[in-house]
């Protein structure tokens, strides 16, 4: 079935319910000979864990984002197949992460209730039947398989395309913008120091204060993740239905809670003029040079690194909007399975904002898109 | 190859270069027994033609949007297969539209130049070789196959899901917003009366004046197309990689010139709070009733009709941003095939703004998404 | 939908009913830069026409196989897209062949009857609705799209893999075996001289006499097509569900009238011993040499050129069994649409044996398999 | 990538190397609401184990077929996802079986040798790199994922199509034919009593004696598995590239060691006449009756239950030929990695004949084909 697999040649299939035995992924189409081990997976999976509660952030003493969906134990990936002697075999790479430490009984009172902003009711409308514990397969825990698959894609890209670098970061949280890479105070190192993964110290502090206030109010927030890919070779993307930007959009909106995506100038492009939007073409330098055609550069990058769905060699730039976490502590009105109105109070501590944990998911999905398009591009010419 | 086919069960494959012999589509997976004829195709194809120049707009005397890419003759679709006695057979429906009246020699001077904002150079970077005439397959003319395919999808949806209605409209052009369906002065009928397909008389007049000014300046503009689908049954969408919203995003960003897409509250959701974004759940009414679960309604529709990637039954709402037309009459700097800087002046009249002609393309892609998900949904339950 | 498309990267989608406006194919995934023109298509399409009636056989005076399904006019392919200046663009190649000279009224009396050995009833059981004229899409005329697609695949293979040669021939007709390439009297030239495409003069004469007798009796015959591919590079085939031999089997049994396929030693292997079936391994010579591994050769080729689903470099060898043509002039008992028993006499002249015309179809499908696996193989290694 | 996934809607993806950590499968597209538990998997997996060594056959004291590839411990499947409260959720069903008790060091001396009849060399020719232990992914152990996937397919079919029954059996081993279901002495119960799974006592005894002799000689044998499916509804199969018989052929030849497949009359059809091959049509009875068309029956079943690629409702009948096991104890000549000739003696006890253990694999692949086509058929009509 379509729904659980992403990609054409380099593909990931994710599996697992939030409170079932395990989550994981099967990665197919990774070429043979790529260096891969458990450590690579652990490193990426750790990035999607809440900071503080065993995550990379050193704050200690609990997660300031308020996540209890986070499990106390670290995710422990196992490579079941496809790797031998530290190298990929060209066969499917199955990756398993056990679901531990889950408190399924926390969800007993939600069994017959439809939570606003969640997929509880739509899931029943579709399948008649669902695993109500922790959102089942609609849980954010499903992204674990994506991040594992993305780690394999990154390992392949690192070998096949060493100059390529994928960097995502929260560019706005709860309405507070984070200055960008060209702005004063932006600092990649800082992203590793605060629990928000925000690469700007002052912005991080301001946002943390707001998050803390929201946590006390029992409310939640959304935000925007920006992503920039540099070192991308020209020529990636398959017109017309598998364009690079089309695939990125599909990848982003497949992530839960995403409500929008912008490529390059995005919605601002819709307000501009051709004379200002068009990126002027200049002589460029490509290493290695492109056979038969001149290298070129662009005066600006409103296109976001894509023309006609094919990479230009300029940085790929896009932004993804995440809605506020739907699980809030404030009372909400809803219905139960029998159609009776009910007051709902969601107990337990939940993420106030998912955006920091979405950063590695955005990167993983981007890596999966690029790995696939890189392979497809091998088939473009005689 | 991935690139030219959209969908899983109900699919469209488009083919054709702008100035080659023909454009068209092969639609597969349309169930047998759907009423279909040439008139249905003609009606939809006419909507993507420029108004004035033989289009549905009655302005006469030339297209105020300034399009010369429009051909003088009407597109003349032929159904080559898959239909017998006015009904679909369940076999592939091949649709052919000849490319007539094209002035390929107009493009002779562009043979060795890379136009800013176009795919000329990226196409060569990928394939080493291109049809330079009119953008080849990167031309807007490729959307003809999409609109033809969408017409088949609409015919299927009309039979399978009679309450369903797909309506798209320009909600902003060149930075001027168009009031929405809930605002004063909004009028679907008006969309058929002005050459912009704008459903609001005053907004249309204001935009037309601006477009005229841009045309004189040799400049161009972008805009936003909004789309609303009502009467959608709950349950459509395949988690997690073929969610309804994910498929819509993939469909939209596959259209040339698109730089962004928003679902429901879109980027505004990223600035909101959970308590205000969550759509409260109320008792609802579904006809026919859903077996085993209560019908429900939503106090608001920030979700845009999708939760967990599955339709809620509320209207599906999304917006798509189009960049300004890249072919402008103003001089631009670029390179030629030998890497030498050149001044480029694009001759001939081109669309100042593609947005009005994009409206039926947005609808067509939406219909294709829904037809496919409707069929996939037949496989969701025992 | 799955049913009309073959392949993963290099794919063909066929369309068209026997007596509809046209038949054809869309070929996707052919790399850019392959030389292709109409003449290449005409040459292959001519091979699937009956000999005598305008075919390549020079017998004149009508087709000794008795075919009236053959149309008097030659098939006239048109390339609608994907080729510019005699080279492929990397875009979909749509190929159209009009259906001319068809006598649809010949089928009026069959409208409500189910012909034994045909798909009339199963088609209605599936779709409730069919085009009864000439078998609709279940007609042998559908193979026209396959042969056109195969011609493109052959053009690609000729450029990418010049040593590769695909040769099919009838190795048995109506129970009379044709001596093989290693036997006395076998002569590839002879295949072009007799209307049976049989590469052996005496066998051809014996079979022709039998066919003539069957024609007078109003009966029909089946046969076997053998195929040998030489010059195949090692490494083609994707374990485990897209093995080279698995794909060949899928390709062959997708052809109408096929009832079996054997690879290498085939069913005889099931009766043999490991000690005699295993092909002994000898030092070999590969040009170019394989990096890191020795070249090898095989003492025998019971494997038919495939081990573990991957080509060995030895000739790919397989045989395909075709049932007798189901349209016979002898009276048959059947039912009509109302369930009443009826006597059926099929009028008009039909092929007595389809095997000679199946030869180019077997080659075409083989070329499509190999083109696709050749491209997929580009993605096997880092 | 294509290679590891089978099906369109109801799909199985297998993973795992013979001596890696685990083998398994991910089943996608199984509708929600199907009863499934571990016991169902265990039952099917047990059938592919050698008889005697913990298998269902009660012979005790070791496996008369001589298998040491069989592991001493029983396969222990774990359902990782997709099932909740004993019912499928509509989400991916990941199934894991650990590889235990493997003696990887047995393969140390084979590390640099290419075994005749095995995929050792072709694997290196393709991927440059392989897991040499036990054949890696080319091992028969890969079929474990198929059998697990087939068990899910059977569970779905049992619920959706209760009258359907799939039965496979060895119809010839080592050249000794087994009388068929219509012959005297055929007894399904007997298949459970002898270690060959042969449903005929005298044939089983004769074959066992021959197998014993081959074992002593250090030789091996092949055979034929027949399969009959009854209770199949008419209408299954997607013309033209996903015909029921085409899919069956693809499924069968995807199994390792298969060299041929026949549908219905098979190669005998190629020697017959239309007048004798055509299955006469008679009035039939279908429960439930088919709307709008008469039920019919067939005087014979040379078609093997398929016409035009669509099921007729008559039993689906086919035969699959397996080559002799390539691992034999007799000395063989081969090359090592450096291209030097070497004498090879394969140590350890290997299966003399794989055919009895292939029976559940044939059934599993058949179930997977039918489950997929049953779902696709839901999309055939308006």
Closest chain A residue to the Cα of B223, Cα to Cα: A270
Residue labelled with tokens 């299966």: D351
Distance (Å, whole) CA B261 – CA B323: 12
Best mutation target among B41, B92, B102 (most C Cβ atoms within 10 Å) is B92
Instruction: Give the gap in angstroms from C-alpha B25 to the nearest C-alpha of chain D.
Output: 19
HSE toward the beta carbon, residue B252, CA cutoff 13 A: 34
Kindly state whether residue A382 falls inside one of the protein's structural domains. no
In this structure, chain A runs to a length of 382
Kindly give the confidence (pLDDT) of every residue in chain D, 382 residues in length, as a single tens digit, with 9 standing for 90 and above.
469 999 999 999 999 999 999 999 999 999 999 999 999 999 999 999 876 433 333 333 456 665 544 455 689 999 999 999 999 999 999 999 999 866 777 778 889 999 999 999 999 999 999 999 988 999 999 999 999 999 999 999 999 999 999 999 999 999 999 999 999 999 999 999 999 999 999 999 999 999 999 999 999 999 999 999 999 999 999 999 999 999 999 999 999 999 999 999 999 999 999 999 999 999 998 888 898 899 999 999 999 999 999 999 999 999 999 999 999 999 999 999 999 999 999 987 789 999 999 999 999 999 999 999 999 999 999 9
Prior bond of B353 cis (ω within 30°): no
Residue B140 DSSP class: G
Residue A348 DSSP class: S
Collect all residues with Cβ–Cβ distance below 8 Å to D233 and sequence separation of at least 6. D161, D164, D311, D313, D374
Which of these, A114, A330, A117, lies nearest to B304 by C-alpha position? A117
Closest chain A residue to the Cα of B118, Cα to Cα: A307
Collect all residues with Cβ–Cβ distance below 8 Å to A133 and sequence separation of at least 6. A17, A18, A19, A102, A104, A107
Contact C235 D125 (CB under 8 A): yes
Distance (Å, whole) CA D167 – CA D153: 14
Closest chain D residue to the Cα of A31, Cα to Cα: D127
Collect all residues with Cβ–Cβ distance below 8 Å to A108 and sequence separation of at least 6. none
Kindly state whether residue D42 falls inside one of the protein's structural domains. yes
Q: Which residues pair with A95 in a beta bridge?
A: A25, A79
pLDDT in the model for residue A54: 33
Of C240, C249, C259, the CB nearest to D266: C259
- Residue A99 tokens read as 């679901």
Contact A80 D33 (CB under 8 A): no
Partners of chain B (3+ Cβ pairs below 8 A)? A, C, D
Ranges A108-112, A268-272, C86-90, C277-281: which has the least confidence: A108-112
Contact C130 B26 (CB under 8 A): no
Instruction: Compute the C-alpha angle D98/D99/D102, nearest 5°.
Output: 155
Instruction: Give the gap in angstroms from C-alpha A372 to the nearest C-alpha of chain C.
Output: 10
Residue C182, burial from CB neighbour count under 10 angstroms (0-12, 13-18, 19+):
exposed
Kindly state whether residue B166 falls inside one of the protein's structural domains. yes
Contact A31 C378 (CB under 8 A): no
- Residue A288 tokens read as 């290695």
Instruction: Give the gap in angstroms from C-alpha C134 to the nearest C-alpha of chain A.
Output: 35
Kindly state whether residue D181 falls inside one of the protein's structural domains. yes
What is the tens place of the pLDDT at every residue in C309-320? 999 999 999 999
Kindly state whether residue D382 falls inside one of the protein's structural domains. no
**What's the longest Cα–Cα distance across chain B?**
70
What is the SS3 assignment for D58?
coil
Q: Which residues of C touch A10 (CB under 8 A)?
A: 379
Kindly state whether residue D80 falls inside one of the protein's structural domains. yes
Of D159, D375, D382, the CB nearest to B31: D382
Instruction: Compute the C-alpha angle C173/C174/C179, nearest 5°.
Output: 40
Main-chain phi, psi angles of C181, to 5 degrees? -55, -25
Contact B119 A239 (CB under 8 A): yes
Of D5, D16, D89, the CB nearest to A127: D89
Cβ neighbours, 10 Å, residue D360: 23
pLDDT in the model for residue B100: 85
Contact B326 A278 (CB under 8 A): yes
Residue labelled with tokens 């995506």: A261
Query: What's the whole-number mean pLDDT along residues B150-154?
Result: 98
Closest chain B residue to the Cα of C32, Cα to Cα: B127
Mean residue pLDDT of chain C comes to: 93
Q: Which residues of A touch B138 (CB under 8 A)?
A: 239-240, 308-309
Contact C4 B28 (CB under 8 A): yes
* CA distance readout (Å), A349 to A21, A62, A63, A111, A323: 23, 11, 10, 18, 18
In this structure, chain C runs to a length of 382
Best mutation target among D310, D375, D379, D381 (most B Cβ atoms within 10 Å) is D379
pTM: 0.96
Total structural domains in chain D? 1
What is the tens place of the pLDDT at every residue in A19-68? 999 999 999 999 999 999 999 999 999 999 876 433 333 333 456 665 54
Contact A160 C382 (CB under 8 A): yes
Contact B220 A308 (CB under 8 A): no
Of D1, D90, D130, the CB nearest to A28: D1
Distance (Å, whole) CA D64 – CA D51: 8
Of C5, C20, C29, the CB nearest to B81: C20
Query: What's the whole-number mean pLDDT along residues A268-277?
Result: 98
* CA distance readout (Å), B327 to A273, B139, C107: 11, 12, 54
CB crowding A332-348: b at 16 or more within 10 Å, else e: bebbebeeeeeebebee
pLDDT in the model for residue C72: 56
Of A22, A81, A127, the CB nearest to D32: A127
Collect all residues with Cβ–Cβ distance below 8 Å to D351 and sequence separation of at least 6. D50, D65, D66, D67, D69, D220, D325, D327, D357
Look at residue C222 and tell me whether its pLDDT is greater than 90: yes
Residues of D with CB under 8 A from a CB of A: 1, 3-5, 9-11, 13-17, 20-24, 26, 28-29, 32-33, 78-84, 87, 89-94, 96, 126-131, 136-137
Main-chain phi, psi angles of C91, to 5 degrees? -105, 170
Contact A33 C379 (CB under 8 A): no
pLDDT category of residue B288 using cuts at 50, 70 and 90: confident
pLDDT in the model for residue A60: 37
Kindly state whether residue C382 falls inside one of the protein's structural domains. no
Distance (Å, whole) CA D239 – CA B91: 8
pLDDT category of residue B74 using cuts at 50, 70 and 90: confident
Say if strands B93-98 and B83-84 run parallel, antiparallel, or are unpaired.
unpaired
pLDDT category of residue B347 using cuts at 50, 70 and 90: confident
Look at residue A77 and tell me whether its pLDDT is greater than 90: yes
Distance (Å, whole) CA D149 – CA D162: 19
Here the CATH number for the domain that contains residue C331 is: 3.60.150.10
Contact A292 B124 (CB under 8 A): yes
Closest chain A residue to the Cα of C372, Cα to Cα: A379
pLDDT in the model for residue A64: 64
Cβ neighbours, 10 Å, residue C48: 24
What is the tens place of the pLDDT at every residue in C118-154? 999 999 999 999 999 988 999 999 999 999 999 999 9
Prior bond of D163 cis (ω within 30°): no
Q: Give the domain range for residue B327.
A: 2-377
What is the tens place of the pLDDT at every residue in C243-254? 999 999 999 999
Helix H segments across C48-142?
A: 120-127
Best mutation target among A22, A27, A35, A81 (most D Cβ atoms within 10 Å) is A81
Mean residue pLDDT of chain B comes to: 93
Query: What's the whole-number mean pLDDT along residues A237-251?
Result: 98
Distance (Å, whole) CA B25 – CA C24: 12
pLDDT in the model for residue B315: 98
Q: Pick the residue with more confidence: B282 or C106?
A: B282
Residues of A with CB under 8 A from a CB of C: 9-10, 29, 31-34, 90-91, 156, 159-160, 239, 375-376, 378-382
Instruction: Give the gap in angstroms from C-alpha D246 to the nearest C-alpha of chain B.
Output: 17
Closest chain D residue to the Cα of A6, Cα to Cα: D1
How much of chain B, in percent, has pLDDT values that exceed 70? 93
Closest chain B residue to the Cα of C99, Cα to Cα: B80
What is the tens place of the pLDDT at every residue in B9-30? 999 999 999 999 999 999 999 9
pLDDT category of residue B54 using cuts at 50, 70 and 90: very low
pLDDT in the model for residue D59: 37
Kindly state whether residue B382 falls inside one of the protein's structural domains. no
What is the SS3 assignment for B325?
coil
Residue labelled with tokens 């219509």: D182
Contact A126 D11 (CB under 8 A): no
Q: Which residues of A touch B272 (CB under 8 A)?
A: 175, 221-222, 323-324
Best mutation target among B123, B125, B145, B292 (most A Cβ atoms within 10 Å) is B125
Contact D129 A1 (CB under 8 A): no
3-state secondary structure B192-256: CCCCCCCCEHHHHHHHHHHHHHHHHHCCCECEEEEEEEECCCCCCCECCCECHHHHHHHHHHCCC
């Amino acid at each position: 079935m379509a729904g659980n697999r992403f990609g054409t040649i380099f593909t990931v299939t994710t599996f697992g319910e939030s409170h079932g035995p395990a989550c994981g992924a099967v990665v197919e189409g990774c070429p043979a000979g790529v260096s891969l081990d458990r450590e690579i997976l652990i490193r990426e999976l750790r990035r999607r864990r809440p900071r503080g509660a065993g995550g990379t952030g050193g704050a200690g003493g609990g997660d300031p984002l308020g996540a209890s969906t986070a499990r106390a134990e670290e995710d422990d990936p196992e490579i079941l197949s496809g790797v031998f002697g530290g190298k990929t075999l060209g066969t499917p790479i199955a990756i398993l992460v056990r679901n531990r430490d889950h408190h399924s009984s926390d969800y007993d009172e939600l069994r017959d209730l439809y939570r606003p902003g969640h997929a509880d009711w739509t899931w029943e409308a579709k399948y008649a039947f669902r695993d109500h514990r922790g959102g089942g397969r609609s849980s954010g825990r499903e992204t674990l398989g994506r991040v594992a698959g993305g780690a394999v894609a990154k390992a392949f890209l690192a070998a096949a395309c060493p100059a390529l670098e994928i960097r995502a970061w929260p560019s706005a949280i709860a309405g507070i913008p984070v200055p960008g890479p060209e702005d004063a105070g932006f600092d990649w190192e800082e992203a590793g120091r605060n629990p928000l993964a925000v690469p700007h110290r002052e912005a991080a502090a301001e946002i943390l204060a707001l998050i803390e206030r929201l946590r006390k109010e029992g409310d939640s927030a959304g935000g925007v993740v920006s992503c920039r890919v540099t070192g991308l070779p020209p020529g990636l993307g398959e017109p017309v239905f598998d364009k690079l930007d089309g695939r990125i959009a599909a990848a982003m909106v497949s992530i839960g809670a995403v409500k929008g995506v912008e490529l390059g100038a995005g919605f601002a492009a819709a307000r501009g003029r051709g004379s200002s939007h068009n990126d002027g073409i200049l002589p460029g330098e490509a290493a290695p040079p492109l056979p038969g055609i001149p290298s070129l550069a662009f005066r600006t990058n409103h296109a976001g690194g894509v023309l006609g769905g094919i990479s230009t060699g300029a940085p790929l730039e896009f932004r993804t909007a995440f809605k506020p976490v739907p699980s809030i502590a404030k009372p909400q009105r809803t219905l139960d399975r029998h159609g009776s109105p009910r007051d709902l109070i969601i107990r337990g501590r939940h993420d106030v904002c998912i955006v920091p944990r979405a950063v590695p998911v955005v990167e993983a999905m981007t890596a999966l898109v690029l790995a696939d398009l890189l392979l497809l591009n091998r088939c473009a010419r005689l």
